[in-house]
Amino acid sequence: MALVEVRVPDIGNFKDVAVIEILVQPGQSIKLEQSLLTVESDKASMEIPSSAAGALREMKVKLGDKLNQGDLIAVLEGAAVSSPPVPPPLPQAGEGTLSPPPLAGEGRVGEAQPVPTPAPAIAAALPPQPSPARRGGSEPSSLPHASPSVRKFARELGVPLAEVQGSGPKGRILQEDVQSFTQAVMTGAVQTQAQVQGGAGGGAFNLLPWPQVDFAQFGPIERKELARIRKISGANLHRNWVMIPHVTNHDEADITDLEALRVQLNSEQVGVKVTMLAFVIKAAAAALGKFPEFNASLDGDALILKRYCHIGFAADTPNGLMVPVLRNAGQKGVLQIAQESAELARKARESKLAAADMQGGCFSISSLGGIGGTHFTPIVNAPEVAILGLSRAYLKPVWNGQAFAPRLMLPLSLSYDHRVIDGAAAARFNAHLAALLADLRRIVL
């Protein structure tokens, strides 16, 4: 049976190119033009195609070998005579082709017989791109190292190779790295730069540009720059709104008895103003204990369940929205919660919150009860997975079995991350919370 040697073709001026990837195995059936291995110089990487078809009897090179034109790569068995050359692949977007070599070294064993073969596809220099922060800036403006097949794979998926962290030798990007990156983007664990910039240009969602209107043509205007806090919270809200699949469950708690207790406590002058918010924080901490997936954060494909319970609450300040965090809410009494939340709200309004006062939250509460409204849809405060909105309590006729009786109802709006929490779980959480608020004695059960 005829044996055919496959040799390194003309690779231009490249010398001592290193074998960085072997793409075939002995015994495998090789097609004409099939890539056998990837070599890499200090400037580019390229795949070496087979100049014949047949079964691969032996690879004559191993990883790390240095090759030059004419070196023996492999021996094929039962090889068919090579077909006429096909044109070299065209350069792809962002990728060029370096001097296509016209010849491949090939000959029957003992009978050197070079024939023209197609040029290897050569991954040429991409324009240097700024290294994303994820790479730790360790490779400033360096090319993403990847073989042409990996580049092709990334292109097909639309993966920006410059943003992929390589796990191969010298940081080379492997096919698995492209797959992991794709998975991370799909689960929301990683954003591509296009996604990050999408907010400004609409690029990621292919949206229309933001309308540019000269408002002055319609009447007098005044331009006022956004406060720093509003800019920061706005960027966070925007990310959370876009990245989290939100659903809001609405319910109502009968707080008639609780409000009577609150009024009574305040009349007893217990040393602090007891607020409805303090009762809700206490009840929410108890509900989080019963429904641990609400006290959690997504981490890629995993859920981080927290064994602590710190609750944030939205505070309206002259500079914009702030969310101070009340620590270990489940371990504190309502009076202590009332006192600490009042102190945190005061610090928020006076811009005196320390960074630590706003960190570590597990769940947030946004109370608009002092202002008005019936229900609303709060935005989940990532990386938390749920937020509770409180609207203004109102008197409602409720059937008690014999008659309609006036009851004070507190609207509860629970927004949740539907990737983590199912609608049924949200309804149960809200119903449980409402039951606790209707009869706070249930907290000790």
Site membership for ligand CAO, residue 370 (CB under 6 A): yes
Question: Where in 102-121 is the site for ligand CAO (CB under 6 A)?
Answer: none
Determine which residue in the list 22, 321, 425, 427 makes contact with ligand CAO, applying CB under 6 A: 321
Site membership for ligand CAO, residue 393 (CB under 6 A): yes
Positive or negative, the Cα torsion across 152, 153, 154, 158?
positive
In this structure, the strands spanning 386-390 and 363-367 are parallel
In this structure, the strands spanning 103-104 and 115-116 are antiparallel
Supply the DSSP string of 387-410, one letter for each residue: EEEE---EEEEEE-SSSEEEEEEE
Quote the DSSP letter at residue 85: P
Cite the active site residues: 418
- Nearer residue to ligand CAO within complex by CB, 298 or 334: 334
CB of 262 to ligand CAO, least distance (A): 8
Q: Structure tokens of 236?
A: 């966070």
- Could you tell me how many residues of this chain bind ligand CAO (CB under 6 A)? 18
CB of 298 to ligand CAO, least distance (A): 22
CB of 352 to ligand CAO, least distance (A): 14
State in Å, rounded, how far the first CA of the chain is from the last one.
84
Bridge partners of 313, per DSSP, are 365
Q: Structure tokens of 429?
A: 């959480």
CB of 224 to ligand CAO, least distance (A): 19
Site membership for ligand CAO, residue 369 (CB under 6 A): yes
From edge to edge, which strands make up the β-sheet containing 17-22?
66-67, 17-22, 35-40, 45-49, 122-123
Determine which residue in the list 69, 97, 248, 366 makes contact with ligand CAO, applying CB under 6 A: 366
Determine which residue in the list 39, 61, 298, 368 makes contact with ligand CAO, applying CB under 6 A: 368
Contact 335, 284 (CB under 8 A): no
CB of 239 to ligand CAO, least distance (A): 15
29-54 core/surface letters (b: 16 or more CB in 10 A; e: else): ebebbbbbbbbbbeebbbbbbbbbbb
Site membership for ligand CAO, residue 295 (CB under 6 A): no
Determine which residue in the list 367, 381, 413, 415 makes contact with ligand CAO, applying CB under 6 A: 367
Q: Is the peptide bond preceding residue 383 cis, with omega within 30 degrees of 0? A: yes
CB of 170 to ligand CAO, least distance (A): 48
Site membership for ligand CAO, residue 361 (CB under 6 A): no
Site membership for ligand CAO, residue 326 (CB under 6 A): no
Site membership for ligand CAO, residue 381 (CB under 6 A): no
Using the rule CB under 6 A, give the single segment among 78-86, 241-249, 364-372, 397-405 that binds ligand CAO: 364-372
- Contact set with ligand CAO (CB under 6 A): 275-277, 313-316, 321, 345, 366-370, 390, 392-393, 410
